[in-house]
Structure 1
């Protein structure tokens, strides 16, 4: 038996909070009866509907995917470009990405059918560290690196302090490779941060998400998260919001 709002969130209809709002507003029925009680529990045989639309329940699944460049972080694309789910033909569940990686960015991406879990990780106050490796044009001076570490002003506000490490540079080609760790999840954030200091990104990869890494995976590979890893991620996200 699961709480009604949890079932709705797991199905990807809405976040847990939004699901609770839908219940209170009388938009949810169980076996044809309107339910407004937030603590109401349902079994796997109960028929749940939101605004008349059946909630199809699946066992929650959680995957770590090494996204290649040139792939859309979505389940479909109107222009016919490759999407992340094209790489998961054997997965029967309707999974979707937790957050996004740009079309031209490779690296670690989580996928799930657990709406509550996805919303927890993507919460604005979530402070799970994300580590990127960027190849940039030019060799950033120390003061520019420090500006990233202090927080830099972008068009949507000042960024939180980042951890920045210079990995290598090539004086002849005038390029550098940097590691940048951030906690935020703004659109194209790392690219915009590096553009703001005058060193646009040539290549970008997300290497780590919290304690998760790409170890043992090749581009385009995926693996299922262990129950312990899922629990650790929930703990990390919950701790960051408290």
Structure 2
């Protein structure tokens, strides 16, 4: 059971405040009876809710993982006419929104949903869900330089949280290396700025995991729906990571 105005807002009737006004004006009915109390609760799966005589539509919740290509905007539109992530979601009727962002030049795992509470849980800074990237950087950073990232490094917007960092590959001929880095924040261009701070700029960046969710072999430009278990695991991880939460040991 949920508050009526919340159900209406989630169904796209109007903002929650406007939905409250509609209730107070006597324009909302639940199972044929007019409701004017803001504390009224209903079950959207069982109750018939109408606004001005028209039944509200309950949009199906959608949770999607996209392997975002490089050169794509994480936005609903782009005035410059560049490709946007929704161009790769033609099979999805519902309107979904990205959880966080990936830069234009960054590729990899991007989550999209129409579930606002789920999106807020994963993207809010206080929940600290870990995200792992493969960064191809210029040169080969010394261990002491990577230790700076492990300890937290000062950027123009403050000190970062400690990151998990390890070498994955070194290409001495092209004078570059591939490094795995896991961060627990979501600042703008954070990974790129962290490597710039140790004088090893990023040449290519790919997100390969979000919490326990792995990109694995999903091809570039394709998407898949998350399973119920994956959705639940992400939610539990976020709640456990919240300050004061009670994280469970991983099996």
Unaligned segments of structure 2, at least 5 residues: 29-35, 246-251
8 Å Cα contact 2:113/2:119 also seen in 1: yes
Unaligned segments of structure 1, at least 5 residues: none
* Cα shift at 1:80: 1.1
8 Å Cα contact 1:63/1:222 also seen in 2: yes
TM value normalised by structure 2: 0.82
2:49 counterpart SS class: coil
8 Å Cα contact 2:4/2:38 also seen in 1: no
Alignment correspondent of 1:114: 115
- The structure number with the bigger radius of gyration is 2
* Cα shift at 1:43: 3.4
* Cα shift at 1:32: 2.1
Equivalent runs, 1:1-242 vs 2, <5 Å:
2-4=2-4, 6-7=6-7, 10=10, 22=17, 26-27=20-21, 29=23, 32=27, 35-37=37-39, 40-41=41-42, 43=44, 45-47=48-50, 57-241=58-242, 242=245
2:205 counterpart SS class: strand
8 Å Cα contact 1:131/1:206 also seen in 2: yes
TM value normalised by structure 1: 0.85
2:38 counterpart SS class: coil
* Cα shift at 1:26: 4.7
Root mean square deviation of aligned Cα: 2.7
Deviations 1:167-224 (A, max 9, x none): 1222232111100001111111100101111111100000011111112311011111
* Cα shift at 1:56: 5.7
